[in-house]
Structure 1
Amino acid sequence: MPVKCCFHRSPTTETTVCSENMDTLLTNQAGLDAFRTFLKSEFSEENVEVWLACEDFKKTESAEKIASKAKIIYSEFIEADAPKEINIDFSTRDLISKNIAEPTLKCFDEAQQVIYSLMAKDSFPRFLNSEIYKKLVNSKQAGNHKKWLPFL
């Protein structure tokens, strides 16, 4: 079954359109804030938080900081019973657990992709039908923001 999105396009392009708009959403502060508020209302804000943490982690340059940031991400989102534990499969979690002793900038890539897909296919379409999104659109139409969001 094709992903339902805000655009009425052929099933083969719907997923691409959603992904492009999801990428735009995640890089736009007003859109990201609205999406985060929506995820909080669904008790799943850890998804966008881990995605953002992974994006920040990939920009880390010093080996010392890579190790410390990796341990923080692991203890906050990955390990069993973490305070903001994300929903990833056992093999991904196990691989990260084995590699956390000597982390690389790519050690969370698979988990980040799983979470991105979950948000794009599940949360993002619901966000587009939410009151939070409608308020964002209405505030844009009323001229309350300086720049029209490209994903709208």
Structure 2
Amino acid sequence: MSTSSQDSHGPRIDWAGFETHAPEVIKALRALGQAVDEGGLDKSLTELLKVRASQLNGCAFCLQFHLNLARKLGVPAPKLDLAATWREAGSVYTARERAALQWTEALTLMADRPIADAAYGELQAQFSEKEIALLTTSIGAINAWNRIAGSLQFTPPIPKAVA
């Protein structure tokens, strides 16, 4: 009897186990995130991008974690609800958010397709070089987290009021 890759019997390593076995990894990834935050990017924007990357990567833990943070930051519900279909969402997203979401998708999916010059051009029209460096780093960091939490199937942090 074969087992589908979609079968899930709980986490392969739970969050607590990962914290125990790889605290230096957590510390390094958190420091990377903190460096982006201290660089001055709007935290609401970076949380939106983390939601989108986590959707693309199929990481339930990171998706729920960053939805929780985005809600605490006051990111409007329509922006979170429509993140997977942002291109069709019309005026829900600003030009700046659309450029950043496009960049998020380009970086997250770059193994499947080259990053178009047009995507970078739209990013340049909305962000400074410093902001582009910070956005790119933030997207790289969430992709690393997605590969850790997604592959090890960490249990999503469902808020108590919802569960």
TM, length-normalised to structure 2 = 0.25
When the two structures are superposed, what TM-score results if normalisation uses the length of structure 1? 0.26
